[in-house]
Amino acid sequence: MANDSYGAASGAARWDLDEVVHQLRVSREATHNIRHQRRVRELPSRAELVQILEGLAAALFPTHYGRPNLTDESIDYFVGDTLNTMLDRLNEQVRRGLQFGAVVAESEEEQTQAAHAITKAFAASLPQIRALVVSDVQAAYAGDPAATSIAEILLCYPGMVAILHYRLAHSLHKLGAPFIARIVSDIAHSRTGIDIHPAAQIGASFFIDHGTGVVIGETTIIGERVRLYQHVTLGAKRFPADESGNLIKGAPRHPIVEDDVVIYAGATVLGRITIGAGSTVGGNVWLTQSVPPNSNVSQAQMRSDCEGDTSKE
């Protein structure tokens, strides 16, 4: 211990750490203070949320993500015990996340009560979330000739992992825990390379094939039975600002994709435009104008449109 103390002391002197630590404090507390409402708060734990997500996935699909040896007699006990543990842990993360919202409760008691209400409502939404995820799995099985089983899709398809995380995050976002929802979506992004904002609205039977590089922005609205391929972007064309030049948060700026649309690899769809029901958008298309239902948009068609009448723009 004496040698350790000596090493620390000599290191501090060698690097002039007293001054460095002091200047970092000045930066934190005064010149470059970026703390939310300038107060120290305990942040949610990303590592904890990773474990919670694994537990919630196991509760929704016990033999796929939980324990493969479960029986009809033991499965409900496993689900109940897993949910009880994970919801307790989620409740604490939601409580921490509520400290970083636009409006923060005045007292710890109010934050605790709000977190409990959100977590309880989230628990009640789990059967509906599972029904949506099952519709997504079935869409993947029906839409991919390479899929050999439901188990393969749940265990091997990154798009399925991203959609499952999105469904959980979207519920948390709607219920009033947007900070936690964003962390959940970023965990999915890190795992799969698919970036879905939790505020996006996505209907049932959604399928992302391959998936890497897919981006779905905050105000995107996607109907039912929509299929996306890798490197598709549903993004914003421009960002509206107020009179002071500050970006307006939450303004609708991403596409509306109606039912039964297919968007192929590399397509970029930007702005608050509508892709009509039953349409197909070809690979590598750059699309910034609405198209009517049952359209077939390809690169050749877009070039033809640009060379001819421009009144549509």
Quick one: tokens of 258? 């109606």
> Concatenated DSSP letters for 89-110?
HHHHHHHHHGGGSSS--SSHHH
Q: What is the pLDDT of residue 297?
A: 96
> Concatenated DSSP letters for 138-163?
HHHHHH-TT---HHHHHHH-HHHHHH
Q: What are the mean pLDDT values of the chain's consecutive 10-residue runs (313 residues total)?
A: 57 80 86 66 93 98 94 95 98 94 75 96 98 98 96 97 98 97 98 98 97 97 98 92 82 96 98 98 97 93 51 38
Indicate the burial class of 152 (C-beta count within 10 angstroms; 0-12, 13-18, 19 or more). middle
Helix 108-143 and helix 158-175, axial crossing angle in degrees, nearest 10: 150
Write the CB contacts of 37 (distance below 8 Å, at least 6 apart in sequence): 104
Whole-prediction pTM: 0.86
Exposure b/e, 295-310, CB count within 10 A at least 16 = b: bebeeeebeeeeeeee
Q: What is the pLDDT of residue 161?
A: 97
Q: What is the pLDDT of residue 2?
A: 53
Beta bridge partner(s), residue 297:
281
Give the integer Cα–Cα distance in Å for 275 and 284.
16
Residue found under tokens 């009517």: 292
Please give the C-alpha separations between residue 155 and each of 2, 151, 243, in angstroms, as whole numbers: 52, 6, 49
Instruction: Kindly list the strands in the beta sheet with 195-196, ordered across the sheet, starting from the edge strand earlier in the chain.
Output: 195-196, 215-216, 233-235, 268-270, 286-287
Q: Give the H/E segment covering residue 195.
A: strand 195-196
Give the integer Cα–Cα distance in Å for 132 and 214.
20
Q: What is the pLDDT of residue 8?
A: 60
Nearest Cα to 279, choosing from 300, 298, 269, 294? 294
List phi, psi (to 5°) of 202. -130, 125
Give the integer Cα–Cα distance in Å for 96 and 4.
36
Q: What is the pLDDT of residue 302?
A: 54
Helix 46-60 and helix 75-97, axial crossing angle in degrees, nearest 10: 150
Domains of the chain: 42-193 (1.10.3130.10), 213-313 (2.160.10.10)
Write the CB contacts of 179 (distance below 8 Å, at least 6 apart in sequence): 44, 97, 98, 100, 101
Nearest Cα to 55, choosing from 20, 25, 80, 21? 80
Please give the C-alpha separations between residue 262 and each of 141, 229, 239, in angstroms, as whole numbers: 16, 8, 26
